[in-house]
Amino acid sequence: MIAKQNVENRYREVFEGEPSHIVRSPGRINIIGEHTDYNEGFVLPTAIDKAIYVAVAKRDDDIIRLYAEDFNAYFEIARTEIHPVEIGWPNYILGVIHQLQLRGARLGGFNLYVNGDVPLGAGLSSSAALECATGYALNVLFDLQLERVDIAKIGQLAEHTYAGVNCGIMDQFASVMSKAGHVLKLDCRDLSFSYTPLELGDYAILLLNTNVKHSLASSAYNNRRAACEAGVQLVKQHHPEANSLRDVTVDMLDNFVKSIDEDIYTKCRFVVEENGRLNAACEALKQGDLEELGKQLFRAHEGLSEEYEVSCSELDFLVDYVRVFPEVLGARMMGGGFGGCTINLVKRSFQDLLIDRLTPVYEEKFGLPLTAIKVVPSNGTELL
């Protein structure tokens, strides 16, 4: 966690003035529910104690001046000339400004300093955290009267238009809307949501980062999405009311898809069953049954690996390795697939021992470092 004082001090050094507001917006994990978002299903994220910090103050001209601590880099542009740029990091901020201006927001020039401790490239949504921190900070700075859900939607559109990533709403929604000690059950069809207590007791959430990102990810994502849409079309011939896999049951897939295309059937069944696992996980949390939650995580990984086929040998190895320990209740790959992290439900007192045992074995097998990330569910975007 980065101290507010450090952010304040660095803003003073960089911009030779006082920040008027400091905002913290967290990264996120998803407990269960992968590849359900673009099928109008459910996801179960929560924010974590790793965040992006933004400090802002108004200027008396029309210039927007940015500084990113991670890159030790300035960027400057006139407010009236906002456009996507070649350098990557400013686009997440500029995209938010662009969306605010499209909504008629009256902005002036400002200085913005950004720093953070969300591990980059681990699938913890540092980009969404930056978008939401920016949106929230400008909302306060210019008194724009935006609702939290608006800030999440603006962040998503910024990612689509300026970063060129056609992401779902989960990352931004979790960053802005999370509540400490709870998971957020989000309905990706209508954005309705509810909070379920996440009481871990003697257990903790440990992420294990494979440090691998296979190039398969984007083409596989497009193929899976197409398979899901094809399955819905086959069902729709018999059930016109079916507009997404959210409206489809396993029985419908058995009757109308299985005999036509086994692969499409398997991919669609995974998504339908993943929504069921998510609901079972929520019930387990309400009952305080962490063992049942862990079973759903292991089962979700089997589905992602063998049915949806978005895992990889590194992810499968990590899940198989921890499965033998009674102190690990559950584990699965987290995110789109082909790399990134596994999420593990581990006895708190066993975490360090597990990391010490697993790290050399993984590194010897794959020739890659293994990064362990301990996370604590936390509040969403807030003014410090």
User: Residue 220 has what pLDDT?
Assistant: 85
User: Residue 265 has what pLDDT?
Assistant: 98
CA 220/CA 235 separation, integer angstroms: 23
Which of 334, 330, 335 shows the shortest CA–CA distance to 346?
A: 330
Consult the annotation and say whether 16 binds a ligand: no
Domain ranges in the chain are 4-197, 203-375
pLDDT higher at 371 or 214: 371
Which of 65, 90, 68, 89 shows the shortest CA–CA distance to 79?
A: 65
pLDDT higher at 88 or 284: 284
pLDDT higher at 39 or 218: 39
CATH of 4-197 given 3.30.230.10, 3.30.1300.10, 3.10.580.10, 3.30.200.20? 3.30.230.10
Task: Name the packing angle between helices 290-302 and 262-287 (round to 10°).
Answer: 170
Residue 218 has pLDDT above 80, yes or no: no
Banded model confidence at residue 204, pLDDT cuts 50, 70, 90: very high
Consult the annotation and say whether 37 binds a ligand: yes
Q: Residue 117 in contact with residue 2, Cβ under 8 Å?
A: yes
User: Residue 201 has what pLDDT?
Assistant: 96
CA 109/CA 79 separation, integer angstroms: 6
CATH of 203-375 given 3.30.70.120, 3.30.70.890, 3.40.50.300, 3.80.10.10? 3.30.70.890
Task: Name the packing angle between helices 126-141 and 148-158 (round to 10°).
Answer: 130
Banded model confidence at residue 362, pLDDT cuts 50, 70, 90: very high
Residue 115 has pLDDT above 90, yes or no: yes
Determine the average pLDDT of the residues in 91-113.
Answer: 97
Share of the chain above pLDDT 90, in %: 92
Residue 7 has pLDDT above 90, yes or no: yes
For 245-285, the pLDDT digits (tens) are 999 999 999 999 999 999 999 999 999 999 999 999 999 99
Consult the annotation and say whether 124 binds a ligand: yes
Q: Residue 342 in contact with residue 333, Cβ under 8 Å?
A: yes
Q: Could you tell me whether strands 73-78 and 110-116 are parallel, antiparallel, or unpaired per DSSP bridges?
A: unpaired
Sheet of 339-347: strand order equals: 328-334, 339-347, 203-213, 371-375
Q: Give exposure, 321-343, as e/b (b: 16+ Cβ within 10 Å).
A: bbeebebbbbbbbbbbbbbbbbb
User: Residue 284 has what pLDDT?
Assistant: 98
DSSP 66: E
Give the residue carrying structure tokens 């398969």: 216
Catalytically annotated residues: 171
Consult the annotation and say whether 229 binds a ligand: no
User: Residue 198 has what pLDDT?
Assistant: 96
Q: Residue 329 in contact with residue 294, Cβ under 8 Å?
A: yes
User: Residue 219 has what pLDDT?
Assistant: 82
Consult the annotation and say whether 35 binds a ligand: yes
Share of the chain above pLDDT 70, in %: 99
Banded model confidence at residue 121, pLDDT cuts 50, 70, 90: confident
For 246-257, the pLDDT digits (tens) are 999 999 999 999
Beta-strand (E) ranges in the chain?
21-30, 42-43, 45-58, 63-68, 73-78, 110-116, 182-187, 193-197, 203-213, 328-334, 339-347, 371-375, 377-378, 382-383
